[in-house]
Amino acid sequence: MAAPTYPLTMPTSPAYKTSRWALQRRTNITQSPFTGNQQVAEYDFALWTTELNLPPMNRESASAWQAFLLQLHGKRGTFLLGDPDAKNPRGVVTGTVTLDAGVSIGDYEVQLNSATQASTSNMVRAGDYLQIGGGSAAKLHMICADASSDSNGDFTVQIEPSIKAAGSSGASVVLSSAQGVFRLSNDLVGWDANEVSVYGITLACIEAL
């Protein structure tokens, strides 16, 4: 029998009871014991992490999640995931959005184009997400400043974290239900159940590169 093909499709029901999202970075700081002066080095490490808590559910609902977790083979497997509370962007952009220029690893700005929305304010809003790439190449970023389009429908978007994979001009960008590729943070997977077969499941995940 063939091994699972990744990224897997995550079950959609029931919706998460709570979710906690964070961006994990790596820095190093040295401080003089005499003057207190500090020097900080920032490394390229910047990965999304999340903890997802599912509501109590019966065995019928839990079975799909059990199968999903086991097919991930611990930290080996991957799946697509986005912030469940930010699926709908607050900006006014609609239709197809593409990269107006190529992006390189380390970029904190992306040039986007929406040909049908020239000279429009609040195309995207700070705190919304965007996705560059799809499938196993999907990368999730947060928009960090509102942006408006010029007369050609072009607009510059500030993002965090920086670009992690080069992209070509014309590549599609996803703003609604943006996702990235994640894996479990632990090789041990499990669930809880009580005497009336009510199940509880919590997933700790980290972005996959």
Alpha-carbon distance 160 to 163, whole Å? 8
Question: What value, to the nearest 5°, has the Cα angle with vertex 21 and ends 131 and 128?
Answer: 40
Residues linked to residue 37 through DSSP beta bridges, in sequence order: none
Residues linked to residue 167 through DSSP beta bridges, in sequence order: 103
Q: Given the DSSP bridges, would you call strands 202-207 and 180-184 parallel, antiparallel or unpaired? A: antiparallel
Decide: 79 and 8 in contact? Cβ < 8 Å: yes
Alpha-carbon distance 110 to 162, whole Å? 10
Alpha-carbon distance 157 to 137, whole Å? 20
pLDDT tens column, 49-70: 999 999 999 999 999 999 999 9
1 — pLDDT class (breaks 50, 70, 90): low
Instruction: Report if pTM > 0.95.
Output: no
CB neighbour burial string for 36-55, b if at least 16 within 10 angstroms, e if fewer: eeeeeeeeeebbbebebebe
Report CA dihedral (69, 53, 187, 190) to the nearest 10 degrees: -60
For residue 206 the two structure tokens come to: 């980290």
**How large is the average pLDDT for residues 29-50?**
96
